[in-house]
Amino acid sequence: MLAGVLPQFLLYGDLECTEPLGGGHINTTFRSQWDQAGAKVRYTHQRINEKVFVRPDQVMENIVRVTRHIAEKLLREGTPGRSRRVLTVVPSRDGKPWVRDAEGGWWRTYLFIEGTHTPELVSSIEEARFLGESAALFQRQLADLDGARLHETIPDFHNMESRYRRFHEAVSRDAAGRLKDVRDEIAFMEKNEDRGGSLIRALKDGSIPERICHNDTKISNILVDNKDSRACCVIDLDTVMPGTSLFDLGDLIRTVSARTAEDEQDLDKVAFDPAYFEALLDGYLSQASQFLIPKETELLCEAGRNITQIMGLRFLTDYLEGDHYYFTARSGHNLDRCRNQIALIRSMDARRAAAAEIAEELVNRHC
């Protein structure tokens, strides 16, 4: 399929090689290398997962608006290395931001950002600070995006209430016959249903504002510079759409303050680390203090627990439904992920007082 789509993109030179890339759970990603008049240039090509994103055209419309907005801002500000700080969409030969393959699949191409990697785990306190800063910078860069509201590429993506409705249906259907294995996990999710709704209720009743956010800021969606560990560029922009900024902070807390992979099976290792939480929040607030309102700052700690819960719930639902949403590498993978997220919530709860103290001190310092 890749061979069929590459000639449709506006790419010059001689194709040298292609290879699969990355460990995302949703899209299929490749990298290509070209010889362009003696220079080696690389691109990423992604087949958009249409089961997840049913309107790829709207996904790409959002991405073009958002990346252009940020690129223009960086140009105005004179930021060096602009094309490493925001994704650049390479259009098709007929000027569209996507092409279709022979089966009707949707593909896009970006400049490959050289000299970076996507960490699976945070490697230092400093890196945690940079990651927090980059996610908040991304939100700040988009705060003045004008024009129509962005498309909701996955409606109700972080809506805990609708996620619970689907979970309850999955439990009552038990389509894959797996209910018997997950009694404890179901009990945990049921016990936490009301608390899990706090963020979405605050967003719906207007006590926290809707903002454009990324909605999928897990650590491996931020490119980090190989030389200095600074976060370079936020990628995986399919879910950039309206939400609360706390969703983005929450997903970073989930994946940076844990310091274990989300599918780590040794649950004794899964722990919330207050020192990494502190560095992450410090970096985040260094940018986000410019726009957060007091009600948002009150919910900072809850954001991490909330997003961890929604992920645990979604992994469990997918397990019950027969693993059709997330890519899985082994049987029981989604269940491992769910158990891991529950262990992380328990650890967050055990260290809640320390986290609240850190958050209060940092809010006083930055806001």
Binding site for ligand ADP (CB under 6 A): 21-22, 24, 26-27, 29, 44, 87, 110, 112-113, 118, 220-221, 223, 235-236
Nearest to 167 by CA among 186, 183, 153: 186
Q: Which of 185, 262, 273, 282 binds ligand GN1 (CB under 6 A)?
A: 262
Is residue 236 a contact point for Mg ion (CB under 5 A)?
A: yes
Residue 132 near residue 48 (C-beta atoms within 8 A): no
- The phi-psi region of residue 215 (left if phi > 0; otherwise alpha if psi is between -120 and 50; otherwise beta) is left
Binding mask 310-349 for ligand GN1 (x = CB under 6 A): -x--------------------------------------
H helical segments located in 157-299? 160-173, 183-191, 193-196, 198-204, 245-256, 274-288, 294-298
> Judging by beta carbons within 10 Å of its beta carbon (0-12, 13-18, 19+), is residue 134 exposed, middle or buried?
buried
Q: 113 or 203: whose CB is closer to ligand ADP?
A: 113
Q: 66 or 363: whose CB is closer to ligand GN1?
A: 66
Spatial neighbors of 183 by CB under 8 A, at least 6 apart, are none
Binding mask 42-81 for ligand GN1 (x = CB under 6 A): ----------x-----------------------------
Binding mask 131-170 for Mg ion (x = CB under 5 A): ----------------------------------------
Q: Which of 11, 26, 233, 281 binds ligand GN1 (CB under 6 A)?
A: 26
**Other Cβ atoms within 10 Å of 81 Cβ, number:** 12
**Among positive and negative, which fits the CA dihedral 303, 56, 14, 1?**
positive
Q: Which of 236, 282, 302, 323 binds ligand GN1 (CB under 6 A)?
A: 236
Pick the stretch among 22-30, 98-106, 162-170, 294-302 that binds ligand GN1 (CB under 6 A). 22-30
Please, what is the Cα angle at 283 between 341 and 211, to 5 degrees? 75
Q: 208 or 232: whose CB is closer to ligand ADP?
A: 232
Is residue 248 a contact point for Mg ion (CB under 5 A)?
A: no
Eight-class DSSP state of 9 = B
Q: Which of 28, 67, 239, 340 binds ligand GN1 (CB under 6 A)?
A: 239
Residue 244 near residue 203 (C-beta atoms within 8 A): yes
Query: Residue 329 CB, nearest distance to ligand GN1 (Å)?
Result: 13
Nearest to 224 by CA among 347, 134, 314: 134
Is residue 24 a contact point for Mg ion (CB under 5 A)?
A: yes
Q: What number of chain residues touch ligand GN1 (CB under 6 A)?
A: 12
Q: 192 or 221: whose CB is closer to ligand ADP?
A: 221
Query: Residue 21 CB, nearest distance to ligand ADP (Å)?
Result: 5
Residue 278 near residue 358 (C-beta atoms within 8 A): yes
Dig out the tokens for 168 from the structure: 């309850």
Footprint of ligand GN1 (CB under 6 A) = 24-26, 52, 216, 218, 221, 236, 238-239, 262, 311
